[in-house]
Chain A
Amino acid sequence: MKILVSKLIKVSVFLLSFGAIAETQAQQVEVRILDFENFEPFLHKNNDTIYVINFWASWCVPCIKELPDFEKLNVKYADKNFKMILVSLDFKRTLDSKLIPFITEKNLKASVLLLHAPDANAWINKVNPSWSGAIPATLIYKNEFRLFHEGGYTYSELDKIVKPLIN
């Protein structure tokens, strides 16, 4: 069965001033929760798109440090054959108390999903056999091209890899 839970935070602010109504309705944070079985297809798309899949957590210091660089890359290639997925390994029980507030606060634009798969020994090698399990870690692929890296990336390092793959 597909585990898919959507969380919707809707903040509506109505401002009434001088008889005019200004409406600000912006913040909608949706985080899908997937088990490994339902996440795995994201590792094997074969559609000419560059996938940048970053494994992180909202409490992970080096992950948070590199997030702005990932966001910058995501903006740069937004209208290209490019897709970024930030795969959070936060605990499911702290989705509402930690992850969603973090996404809101940092105003993350890249899509975030929560991989709820605590039996990690069963799937780490399926992401990449060289991964010890430490985060951050990033998989960049496009069709047959595949590059996995355990550790952080800077913007220029990321762009050096992604740029030649853009159509």
Chain B
Amino acid sequence: MKKSIFLLLFVLSFTITLMAQGYKVGDKAQDFELMNIDGKTVSMADYPDAKGFIVIFTCNHCPYSVAYEGRKIALAKKFESLGYPVIAINPNDSTIVPQDSFSNMVKRAAEKDFPYPYLLDADQTVFQQYGATRTPHVFLLNKESSDLIVRYIGAIDNNYENAKKASEHYVEAAIEALLQGQNPDPEFTKAIGCSIKIKKS
């Protein structure tokens, strides 16, 4: 009996550690298949010509995410034609934050005319796999051979409050580096963000 409890605890702690890790720069990212605001599912495999992806965990309710909406739209417009489309994913559980429900995602996307897919991580597995902890949280993926390699993790730029006052444009600089065959520097940054709202089990 004692032994089995010990074993259970061991397995549990191991699982928790695995869940908490997520991707590091250099890791291979997995594709996903998530529902878009138009009711159709989206995978990265749907973009055979892409050189990579700007995957952004974001949501409706978080003011830090909202403050970056214009910048996300600008990134999508600038980099989709250069081979790096934006894919936005809402990881939040809407029973905790109703503003982040699927119907509110549809509404917000229409209001702001998002030029990128806005997907719902309904069973909250994708954000855990990637290791996103906050919104907004960017994972820049680069297609290398047939793999998607994580090349940058972090913030869009260095001023969440005022786009005009940002002096470092991390994601833009990272893509420019990749386009020139170099690795981004910095490859990892931190930012203040809203915690991801995880469904209570």
Q: Which residues of A contact B (CB under 8 A)?
A: 57, 59-62, 89, 91-93, 116, 118-122, 124-125, 131-136, 150-151
Q: How far is the CA of A34 from the CA of B130 in the complex (A)?
A: 34
DSSP class of B's interface residues: helix, strand, loop or mixed? loop
Q: How far is the CA of A124 from the CA of B134 in the complex (A)?
A: 14
Q: Which of A60, A92, A135 contacts B161 (CB 8 A)?
A: A92
Chain B residues with Cβ below 8 Å from A89 are 192
Chain B residues with Cβ below 8 Å from A136 are 195
Q: How far is the CA of A120 from the CA of B156 in the complex (A)?
A: 12
B interface residues, tally (CB under 8 Å):
27
Closest CB in chain B relative to A113 CB, distance in Å: 15
Q: How far is the CA of A157 from the CA of B193 in the complex (A)?
A: 24
Q: Which of B134, B158, B161, B162 contacts A121 (CB 8 A)?
A: B158
Is there an interface contact between A151 and B195, defined as CB atoms closer than 8 Å?
Answer: yes
Known: A61-B97, A134-B133. A120 touches B191 (CB 8 A): yes
Chain A residues with Cβ below 8 Å from B194 are 60, 134-135
Closest CB in chain A relative to B199 CB, distance in Å: 14
B96 at the A/B interface (Cβ < 8 Å)? yes
Q: Output the nearest chain A residue to B22 by Cβ-Cβ distance.
A: A132
B196 at the A/B interface (Cβ < 8 Å)? yes
The count of A-to-B residue pairs whose CB atoms sit within 8 angstroms is: 70
Q: How far is the CA of A134 from the CA of B191 in the complex (A)?
A: 8
Known: A91-B161, A119-B158, A120-B155. A62 touches B195 (CB 8 A): yes
Closest CB in chain A relative to B134 CB, distance in Å: 4
Is there an interface contact between A59 and B63, defined as CB atoms closer than 8 Å?
Answer: yes
Is there an interface contact between A133 and B193, defined as CB atoms closer than 8 Å?
Answer: yes
Known: A131-B190, A132-B133. A122 touches B197 (CB 8 A): no
Chain A residues with Cβ below 8 Å from B61 are 59
B160 at the A/B interface (Cβ < 8 Å)? yes
Is there an interface contact between B190 and A133, defined as CB atoms closer than 8 Å?
Answer: yes
CB 8 Å contact bits of B125-147 with A (1 = contact, 0 = none): 00000000110000000000000
B3 at the A/B interface (Cβ < 8 Å)? no
Chain B residues with Cβ below 8 Å from A57 are 63
Q: Output the nearest chain B residue to A58 by Cβ-Cβ distance.
A: B63
Chain B residues with Cβ below 8 Å from A150 are 133, 195
Q: How far is the CA of A59 from the CA of B195 in the complex (A)?
A: 12
Known: A124-B190, A133-B134. A118 touches B197 (CB 8 A): no
Chain A residues with Cβ below 8 Å from B193 are 133-135
Chain A residues with Cβ below 8 Å from B97 are 61
B159 at the A/B interface (Cβ < 8 Å)? yes
Q: How far is the CA of A121 from the CA of B168 in the complex (A)?
A: 11
Is there an interface contact between A132 and B158, defined as CB atoms closer than 8 Å?
Answer: no
Is there an interface contact between A91 and B155, defined as CB atoms closer than 8 Å?
Answer: no
Q: How far is the CA of A61 from the CA of B168 in the complex (A)?
A: 30
Most buried by A among B62, B67, B191, B196: B191
B40 at the A/B interface (Cβ < 8 Å)? no
Closest CB in chain A relative to B16 CB, distance in Å: 13
Is there an interface contact between A122 and B134, defined as CB atoms closer than 8 Å?
Answer: no
B165 at the A/B interface (Cβ < 8 Å)? yes
- Can you list 27 A-B pairs with a CB-CB distance of less than 8 A? A60-B195, A61-B197, A91-B63, A118-B158, A118-B161, A118-B162, A118-B165, A119-B158, A120-B155, A120-B191, A121-B154, A121-B189, A121-B190, A124-B190, A124-B191, A125-B190, A132-B134, A132-B190, A133-B133, A133-B190, A134-B134, A134-B192, A134-B195, A134-B196, A135-B192, A136-B195, A151-B195
